[in-house]
Each structure stands twice: as C-alpha cells, then as structure tokens.
C-alpha cells in the first residue's frame, strides 16, 4: 500500500545529502572551542595547584581527555576536586592541540615537596604528598604513571585529529550513511510486501472466520489490526537502524564521541537497570512463586474436601450439605488473603511510595463505593447459614410472595404467582421477616385458612359442619389431618368463624383458596344461611342467599365448578 510506506524516497535522498554535508564539515572544521577557552580557565596558578596540603579527602574527580579517564585527583574545601580536574584537563588539551610541543618533552620534575609534569617548561600537573596518600602509592610512582597516561592520551588526541584519519573516518561516515539509506529503502520495500501479503492471506481466512462467528469477529477490524502491527514493527525497525547509524557515525569523530557514548548510555542504562532490577528481585520472586504454588495446592485439597461434603461422601456432624460450596468460597478467600499478606512484602516495588499511594487510593475507592455491595454479600452468606429457605420454596418477604428460583450472594430471585420476576437484595431479606410456606408443608402440611361472619341466629354447630363440608368438597386438601373450625371472635353483629384445612403443595395455594371460597358459598347457599361478612346493619326482608336454581345463570355453566377445581393460576 503506497500510503503505508515507511520512508519516502525523496526524504531518503535529503537525509543522504544532509548527512554527507554534516560529516564533511565535522571533519574539515577543527573543534577548538575547548582550546580557545583554555587560556581563561587555565589561568589557575601552578602555585595554587601545587600548594594543596592537609588531610586526605573523599572528594575525588577524574581528569579526562576525549572521554577517556587518565587519573583522579583529590580536592579540599578551598579548591574542590572537580575544579582542579577541569583545570588540569584544559592544560593537557591545550598542549595536545599545540603540535609544536613534542610528546617526548613530557617529563617529571622532582622537587622537595612536589612532583611536577612539564612539557617544554609548560606545567601540566603537580602532585604533592596529599595526592599520593589519596592513591595509596608514593608521589614519584604516581607522577610517572600520570606522565605515561598523559603522553598516550596526547598521542591519541593528535592522531584522531590528523587530516588522514579524519578523511578515512569521513569515508566511513559516508559509507554508513549510504548503507543506512539503503537499509531504509529495504525496510520500505520489505514491509510493503509484507503488508500486501498479509492482506491477501488474511482476507480469505478472516472472511470464513467472520462467517463462522456470526459477525462477532469483523474481518476489516482484524485486517486493520494486522496493518497497524506491521506499521509499528516498521517504525521500530527504522528507529533501531537510526540509533545504530547515529551511534556508529558519532563515535567516528573525537568531538562527537562523547555524544555517541551518551546516546549509548541512554539505551543501555535503562536496560541495565531493568536487568539488574530483575536479578535483584529474583529471590523475592522465588518466594512469591513458592507461596503461590503452596496456596494453589492447599486450595485444591480444600476443594476436594468440601466437594465431598457437598456430595455427601464425607459426613460432618451438624454440617448441612448446602453449606459446602459457600463455606469453601469463604475459606478460599481467607487463604488467598493470607497468602497475599505473606507475599506482599516480597513483591518488587511494594515498598515504593507510588505502590503505597496506589494501594491507599484503591482502598479508599473500594471502601467508599462498595458498602452496599459488602452488606449484600454478608447478608447472602448469613441467609445461607440461617437456612431460612432454599431454591423451590414459596416464601413471603415483607409484602412479596413468590417461589425462590435462585439464591446468589447479593440478591435472591423470586417468581410470583403472576409469573413476575422479582430481584430482592439480600440485605433487605436479612433485615425483615421471612415466611416459608414450604418448609413444613411436605412433612406436616400447610394450613390454609379463611374466615366468614355468620349471624347469632345460626347455630354454631351448623356453621362448623357447613365449613367442614366445604373443605371436604375441595380437591387438593388433605383428609388427614382433618379440617377444623375455630371461632375467632364474637363480634357486635356476627360470629367470626375460621376454616382451617391442610395441603401439601404450597404452589397451589391460590387455586385452593379459590376452590375453598367457591365451596363455602355453595354450601351456605344450599342451606339458606346468610354470610354477614364484611358488615351488618340490619336484617333484610329476604335473606341474602343465592337460590339453587340460580347458581348457573347465564353465562355460567354447570361444568364451570368442576373445571375450577384444582386449577393452577
């Protein structure tokens, strides 16, 4: 793809031209800035340099020439080591730049209190006993070693700046520039071909993958991602080549060699710091790995144990099988938390201020934003161990009645008789009463009850017999235990009777109540007894009952009563 090319040809030609011009200027124009300033900075008197005395100091500075360390010199408060080393370097550089001074003229002049290195009567450096004590050798040996190194450095300085060497280095620089440009052209062509090849190969396979995944995977997005990856690799390759090229060319000339070393250190130092950091952290990482492995196997063993409790293969007195999974989850989190506490001090960077700041920030965010979540989680576990209900039970929570379809750590799902899904937070359930209709229904039966108000003129024995008859006519109610009637109250105008009957299926509560009420109405109408509920003010002229010949007035049919028996909502 032409638009995705890494390097344009015109740009490459400009790079080649500019690089050639720069290296020619570097080679042909002497770099004498340091020598020009040596006359001002080098005016520190030899007397000052040679009259340093006193106790040895830890203040040391290196004397360098073209980035190469020759020797170190100490300093004192009045004359710091860095300032002294700078003055010595300037004198050596000025002598090296003056080719009229022969290297053989360097010699050591011994005096009573110092050893001086001079070149054609020009002072280079003077050493006193203070300097020798800092190095731990005699003053004469120190001066002789420094003379040898200075002579070699001056020879190298002059050789590096000779016209012949500069022309050869310039030729190398031009060759490196041409090679760099050719490498960029090679990268450009190679990545263009890779880009086209990847598009051809991927388009067919990705189209089939897109069809199989029902459009979940978009072919165009994958192709763009591959193009982006290739483009990133191309840019990375160009940057790596540019780095190698710059380091190589800058190291050819003495004036730019410090820049090359700085450029090398910019990449090497971070990489070395990472490698050394990893090596230093290996013991701690090994400890963390051991903690992780031990924790993993402890969790596996614990999972097998609680799985046995859940399946009933392992019996534990007073422990319900339903508790196995939630108890395992609690124990798992406790073990993981303990492992994190043990391993935390050994995590690389855990003691840094940034790590501590992030930890505190996350803790504050979690504590402020998860109070309701934690409350629901605790409520969920509390309900599990309370054994208030289980999946399939019909319960009443506040004013909500329904069948439990799912119990989770944070919420409980109910399905009402109207087939409505209700999601109730566990904290709400924990803080309110719960009526479970299913717990005792299968073993002892659930009592369904309804009340009627009957006048005082009707014998109570007749009323109780009629209510029991209505219960006997209701299919779905248990014969044993037998239904029974309670007289709840003697009211101002009527007696309140309560019919109680047993059933073993709480899910049929609504149709059973309907059948009970229907049969109560039928029985009382058959016997001509008027129901006084809900209010009574006076005796009517005609009793408020439905005659038997009017039970099935249109549109009702005689078969409706049988059809309603046992009907589920």
Domain ranges of the chain: 33-160, 375-436, 446-564
- Please enumerate, as own/partner, the contacts of 223-227 that have beta carbons within 8 Å and a separation of 24 or more: 223/199, 226/198, 226/199, 226/202, 227/1, 227/4, 227/195, 227/198, 227/199
Question: Quick one: pLDDT at residue 550?
Answer: 72
**Under CATH, which architecture does the 446-564 domain have?**
2-Layer Sandwich (3.30)
325 and 310 Cβ atoms separated by less than 8 Å:
yes
What six digits make up the tokens of 335? Answer: 């073990």
Dist CA 196 CA 403 (whole Å): 62
Q: Looking at residue 498, what DSSP letter applies?
A: E
Residue 402 CB: number of other CB atoms within 10 A? 22
Dist CA 307 CA 313 (whole Å): 9
Do 375-436 and 446-564 show the same overall fold?
no
Residues with Cβ within 8 Å of 68's Cβ and at least 6 positions away in sequence, in order, are 153, 156
Smallest CA-to-CA distance from 294 within 305, 286, 304 is with 286
Q: What's the CATH fold of domain 375-436?
A: SH3 type barrels. (2.30.30)
Dist CA 262 CA 247 (whole Å): 9
Question: Quick one: pLDDT at residue 498?
Answer: 95
pLDDT tens string for the chain (569 positions)? 444 443 444 444 444 444 544 444 444 444 333 333 333 333 333 333 344 433 344 678 889 888 788 888 998 888 888 999 999 999 998 998 888 888 888 899 998 888 999 998 889 999 988 888 888 888 889 889 999 999 998 998 888 888 888 899 889 989 989 999 999 899 888 888 888 887 777 766 666 665 565 554 556 677 777 788 888 888 888 888 888 888 888 888 888 887 887 877 777 777 777 778 778 878 888 899 999 999 999 999 988 888 888 877 887 777 777 778 778 888 888 899 899 888 888 887 777 777 777 777 777 766 665 566 667 667 766 776 677 788 888 989 888 889 999 887 778 899 988 889 999 888 788 778 888 888 888 788 899 999 999 888 888 999 999 999 999 999 999 999 999 999 999 988 888 999 999 999 888 898 999 999 999 999 999 888 888 876 666 666 676 677 777 777 655 677 655 445 444 33
90 and 38 Cβ atoms separated by less than 8 Å:
yes
Question: Quick one: pLDDT at residue 474?
Answer: 93
Distance of CA 385 to the CA centre of its chain: 33
Residue 280 CB: number of other CB atoms within 10 A? 11
């Amino acid at each position: 793809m032409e638009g995705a090319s890494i390097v344009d040809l015109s740009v490459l030609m400009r790079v080649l031209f500019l690089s050639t011009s720069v290296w020619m200027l570097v080679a042909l124009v002497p770099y004498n800035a340091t020598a020009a300033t040596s006359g001002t900075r080098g005016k520190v008197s030899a007397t000052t340099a040679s009259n340093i005395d006193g106790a040895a100091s830890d203040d040391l500075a290196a004397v360098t020439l073209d980035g190469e360390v020759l020797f170190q010199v100490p300093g004192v408060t009045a004359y710091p080591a860095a300032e002294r080393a700078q003055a010595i370097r300037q004198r050596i550089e000025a002598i090296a730049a003056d080719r009229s001074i022969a290297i053989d003229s360097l010699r050591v002049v011994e005096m009573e209190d110092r050893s001086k290195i001079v070149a054609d009567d020009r002072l280079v450096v003077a050493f006193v006993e203070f300097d020798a004590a800092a190095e731990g050798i005699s003053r004469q040996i120190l001066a002789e070693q420094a003379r040898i190194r200075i002579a070699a450095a001056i020879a190298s300085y002059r050789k590096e700046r000779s016209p012949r060497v500069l022309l050869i280095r310039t030729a190398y620089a031009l060759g490196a520039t041409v090679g760099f440009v050719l490498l960029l052209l090679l990268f450009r062509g190679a990545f263009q071909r890779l880009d086209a090849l990847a598009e051809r190969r991927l388009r067919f396979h990705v189209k089939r993958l897109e069809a199989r995944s029902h459009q979940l995977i978009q072919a165009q997005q994958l192709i763009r991602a591959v193009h982006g990856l290739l483009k990133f690799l191309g840019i990375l390759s160009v940057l790596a080549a540019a780095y190698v090229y710059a380091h190589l060319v800058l190291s050819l000339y003495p004036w730019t060699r410090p820049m090359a070393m700085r450029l090398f250190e910019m990449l090497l130092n971070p990489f070395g710091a990472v490698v050394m950091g990893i090596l230093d952290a290996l013991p701690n990482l090994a400890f963390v790995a051991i903690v992780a492995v031990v924790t993993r196997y402890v969790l596996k063993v614990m999972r097998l144990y609680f799985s046995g409790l859940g399946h009933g293969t392992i019996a534990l007195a007073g422990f319900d099988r339903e508790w196995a999974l939630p108890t395992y989850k609690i124990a798992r989190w406790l073990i993981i938390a303990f492992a994190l506490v043990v391993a935390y001090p050994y995590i690389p960077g855990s003691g840094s201020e940034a790590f501590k700041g992030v930890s505190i920030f996350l803790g504050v965010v979690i504590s402020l934003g998860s109070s309701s979540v934690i409350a629901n989680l605790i409520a969920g576990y509390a309900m599990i161990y309370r054994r208030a209900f289980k999946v399939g039970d019909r319960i009443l929570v506040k004013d909500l009645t329904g069948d439990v379809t799912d119990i989770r750590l944070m919420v409980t799902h109910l399905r009402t008789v109207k087939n409505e899904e209700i999601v109730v937070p566990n904290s709400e359930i924990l803080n309110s009463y719960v009526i479970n209709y299913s717990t005792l229904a299968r073993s002892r039966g659930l009592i369904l009850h309804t009340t009627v108000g009957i006048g005082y003129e009707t014998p109570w024995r007749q009323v109780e017999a009629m209510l029991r008859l209505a219960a006997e006519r209701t299919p779905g109610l248990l014969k044993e235990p037998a239904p029974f009637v309670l007289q709840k109250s003697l009211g101002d105008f009527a007696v309140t009777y309560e019919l109680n009957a047993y059933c073993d299926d709480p899910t049929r509560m609504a149709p059973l109540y309907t059948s009970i009420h229907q049969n109560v109405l039928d029985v009382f109408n058959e016997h001509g007894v008027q129901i006084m509920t809900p209010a009574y003010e006076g005796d009517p002229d005609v009793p408020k009952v439905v005659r038997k010949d009017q039970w099935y007035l249109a549109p009702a049919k005689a078969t409706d009563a049988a059809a309603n028996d046992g009907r589920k909502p």
